[in-house]
């Protein structure tokens, strides 16, 4: 099989490629990524010399470039990770989110429609988020039947792309699957997201900003568990269906940050209080969703996927990885990153 992976230089895409390229030498993996601030070829050093791996720097919003790749490689399956993914950036600058997440997805779907004969074993797998469902109160869970109710420009753009993917199945019989996953964490995550930002700041002795009161709840999943769930859906998921992915790991943000202080203190031998003193409370995110929580019953019962990491084991692995990969972190936190930190946090 020839797999076209979009956004494979980002956090989840690079974990996916590092995990599956060596595992499946019989498949070819083509990574297309335009290397935005979030895309980094250093994350793929493990697989860059594998014979079944190829990279092309391509913008999915550019239909001519996508067509070239379809002509050159004739992919059987598309696994679509590429996106603008950070909620705060979608608040300060939504346009890119529309271009990549909506137009980019549309371009890929159009190319599949043009180049695929559907009786073959083709598949467009769309990687999406639980944020399309909006926010939960104190109770309840997102299921595959929860109505869409996105609240940020990011989640609205992902919801639009989900609807396009679904429409191509119903209108054109394009074989598709969609997964909606909760918050991921693990190695290779860009330090704009809560967990890597906090790890980095604690290690550097810099302040740790918590939005609002730190009471918002997220449902955390270790990234390799997410990648395995995606592979399970690609292999065995029913075409035309969506699957929610989550590991029943709800924590509020303050709990997450305190756990990180403790794990880092265990590694460094420093007093945990030294880290706790770095926590500050800053102005809340506009439209901040209160709580996300996934009901993973469908993927568990129908496809037999279960997570393997607990939040404890996953956090330990993640902290250890960041401690051992200081160079990776340094290489991606230069000019653009500092501009973002100033824009989002200074005078907040
Ligand atoms: P990321 O921001 O780390 O990586 C995105 C990648 O896409 C980068 O390599 C970037 O260069 C690339 N990209 C962006 N615009 C592009 C364009 N126009 N053309 C080609 N490549 C482009 O994102 P991530 O956290 O790895 O998320 C991957 C996917 O998973 C996204 O679709 C996201 O919505 C979804 N998702 C993420 C999470 C999470 O917690 N991170 C949870 C659920 C779903
Ligand atoms: O739920 C899945 C989504 O999870 C993905 O679709 C998104 O791509 C991904 O970015 C993530 O979105 P969140 O907004 O939940 O993740 P983030 O790491 O930005 O924030 C997690 C929580 O921490 C959220 O409640 C906001 C809060 N936060 C975040 C940052 C960056 C802070 O309190 N302080 C911070 O500095």
Question: How confident is the model over 77-104, as pLDDT tens digits?
Answer: 999 999 999 999 999 999 999 999 999 9
Per annotation, catalytic residue among 88, 131, 289, 309: 131
Read off the pLDDT band of 119 (50, 70, 90). Answer: low
Please indicate, yes or no, whether residues 117 and 71 belong to a single structural domain of this protein.
Answer: yes
Task: Tabulate helix, strand, coil % of the chain (nearest 5).
Answer: 45, 15, 35
CA of 270 to the centre of ligand 1 (A): 35
Q: Which CATH number does the domain housing residue 315 bear?
A: 3.90.25.10
118 has pLDDT over 80 = no
* Ligand 2 atom closest to Cα of residue 195: 18
Per annotation, catalytic residue among 154, 211, 222, 275: 154
Query: Ligand 2 pocket test: which of 160, 189, 218 has the largest number of ligand atoms within 8 Å of its C-beta?
Result: 218
Cβ atoms 45, 77 nearer than 8 A: no
Protein residues with CB under 6 Å of any ligand 1 atom = 7, 9-13, 33-36, 38-39, 59-61, 81-85, 100, 104, 127-129, 158, 181, 183-184, 190
- What is the C-alpha to C-alpha distance for residues 170 and 261, in angstroms, rounded to an integer? 48
Please indicate, yes or no, whether residues 123 and 257 belong to a single structural domain of this protein.
Answer: no
- What is the C-alpha to C-alpha distance for residues 129 and 219, in angstroms, rounded to an integer? 12
Establish whether residue 245 lines the binding site of ligand 2, counting it when its CB lies within 6 angstroms of any ligand atom: no
Position of tokens 């599956």?
20
* Structural domain contains residue 17: yes
* Structural domain contains residue 344: no
Closest by CA to 245, choosing from 263, 257, 233, 234, is 233
Number of helices (H), then strands (E), belonging to the chain: the values are 14, 13
Establish whether residue 131 lines the binding site of ligand 2, counting it when its CB lies within 6 angstroms of any ligand atom: yes
Please indicate, yes or no, whether residues 213 and 225 belong to a single structural domain of this protein.
Answer: no
Take atom 30 of ligand 2 and give the residue whose Cα is closest.
194
Number of domains in the chain: 2
> Would you state the pLDDT for residue 347?
81
Q: What is the pLDDT of residues 154-171, one digit of tens each?
A: 999 999 999 999 999 999
Establish whether residue 227 lines the binding site of ligand 2, counting it when its CB lies within 6 angstroms of any ligand atom: no
* Structural domain contains residue 306: no
**Helix/strand/coil for 7:** coil
* Structural domain contains residue 198: yes
Neighbours of 247 (CB within 10 A): 24
CA of 233 to the centre of ligand 2 (A): 25
Q: How far is CA 118 from CA 21, 113, 127, 228, 239, in A?
A: 26, 9, 21, 25, 12
Residues 6+ apart with CB under 8 A from 117: none
Q: What is the pLDDT of residues 289-342, one digit of tens each?
A: 999 999 999 999 999 999 999 999 999 999 999 999 999 999 888 889 999 999
Q: Is 235 a catalytic residue?
A: no
* Structural domain contains residue 262: yes
Q: Which CATH number does the domain housing residue 42 bear?
A: 3.40.50.720
Strands 123-129 and 77-80: parallel
Please indicate, yes or no, whether residues 237 and 284 belong to a single structural domain of this protein.
Answer: no
Please indicate, yes or no, whether residues 131 and 142 belong to a single structural domain of this protein.
Answer: yes
Please indicate, yes or no, whether residues 115 and 67 belong to a single structural domain of this protein.
Answer: yes
Q: How far is CA 237 from CA 20, 72, 193, 214, 305, in A?
A: 18, 28, 30, 36, 11
Please indicate, yes or no, whether residues 147 and 257 belong to a single structural domain of this protein.
Answer: no
pTM for the predicted model, two decimal places = 0.98
> Would you state the pLDDT for residue 348?
81
* Structural domain contains residue 345: no
Cβ atoms 126, 105 nearer than 8 A: yes
- What is the C-alpha to C-alpha distance for residues 223 and 244, in angstroms, rounded to an integer? 15
Please indicate, yes or no, whether residues 125 and 198 belong to a single structural domain of this protein.
Answer: no
Please indicate, yes or no, whether residues 206 and 134 belong to a single structural domain of this protein.
Answer: no
Establish whether residue 129 lines the binding site of ligand 2, counting it when its CB lies within 6 angstroms of any ligand atom: yes
CA of 173 to the centre of ligand 2 (A): 35
Phi then psi for 327, rounded to 5 degrees?
Answer: -65, -40
Per annotation, catalytic residue among 59, 84, 130, 162: 130
State the residue range of the domain holding 321: 194-217+250-289+311-336
Q: What is the pLDDT of residues 242-262, one digit of tens each?
A: 999 999 999 999 999 999 999
- What is the C-alpha to C-alpha distance for residues 82 and 100, in angstroms, rounded to an integer? 8
**Helix/strand/coil for 290:** coil
* Structural domain contains residue 299: no
Q: Is 53 a catalytic residue?
A: no
Please indicate, yes or no, whether residues 43 and 24 belong to a single structural domain of this protein.
Answer: yes
Please indicate, yes or no, whether residues 36 and 102 belong to a single structural domain of this protein.
Answer: yes
Q: DSSP letters along 62-98, please? A: -HHHHHHHHHHH--SEEEE--S---HHHHHH--HHHI
* Structural domain contains residue 279: yes
Please indicate, yes or no, whether residues 239 and 318 belong to a single structural domain of this protein.
Answer: no
Burial of 56 (0-12, 13-18, 19+ CB in 10 A): middle
Q: Is 222 a catalytic residue?
A: no
* Ligand 1 atom closest to Cα of residue 185: 40
């Amino acid at each position: 099989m020839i797999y076209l992976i979009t956004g494979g230089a980002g956090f989840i895409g690079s974990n996916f490629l590092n995990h599956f390229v060596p595992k499946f030498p019989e498949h070819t993996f083509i990574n297309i990524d335009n290397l935005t601030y979030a895309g980094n070829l250093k994350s793929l050093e493990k697989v860059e010399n594998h014979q079944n791996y190829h990279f092309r720097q391509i913008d999915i919003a550019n239909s001519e470039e996508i067509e070239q790749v379809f002509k050159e490689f004739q992919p059987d399956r598309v696994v679509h990770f590429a996106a603008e993914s950070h909620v705060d950036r979608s608040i300060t600058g939504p346009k890119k989110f529309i271009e990549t997440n909506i137009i980019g997805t549309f371009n890929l779907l159009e190319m599949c429609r043009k180049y695929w004969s559907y009786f073959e074993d083709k598949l467009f797998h769309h990687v999406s988020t639980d944020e399309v469902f909006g926010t939960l109160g104190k109770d309840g869970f997102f299921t595959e039947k929860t109505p869409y109710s996105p609240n940020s420009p990011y989640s609205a753009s992902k919801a639009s792309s989900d609807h396009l993917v679904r429409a191509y199945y119903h209108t054109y019989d394009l074989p598709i699957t969609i997964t909606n996953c909760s918050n991921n964490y693990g190695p290779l995550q860009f330090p704009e997201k809560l967990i890597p930002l906090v790890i980095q700041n604690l290690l550097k002795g810099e302040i740790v900003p918590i939005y609002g009161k730190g009471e918002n709840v997220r449902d955390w999943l270790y990234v390799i568990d997410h990648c395995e769930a995606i592979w399970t859906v690609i292999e065995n998921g029913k075409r035309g269906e969506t699957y929610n992915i989550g590991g029943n790991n709800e924590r509020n943000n303050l709990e997450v940050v305190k756990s990180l202080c403790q794990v880092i203190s265990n590694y460094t031998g420093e007093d945990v209080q030294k880290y706790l003193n770095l926590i500050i409370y800053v102005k809340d995110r506009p439209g901040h969703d209160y709580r996300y929580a996934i009901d993973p019953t469908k993927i568990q019962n129908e496809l037999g996927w279960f997570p393997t990491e607990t939040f404890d084991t996953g956090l330990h692995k993640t902290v250890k990885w960041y401690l051992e990969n200081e160079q990776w972190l340094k290489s991606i936190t230069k000019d653009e990153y500092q501009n973002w930190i100033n824009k989002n946090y200074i005078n907040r």
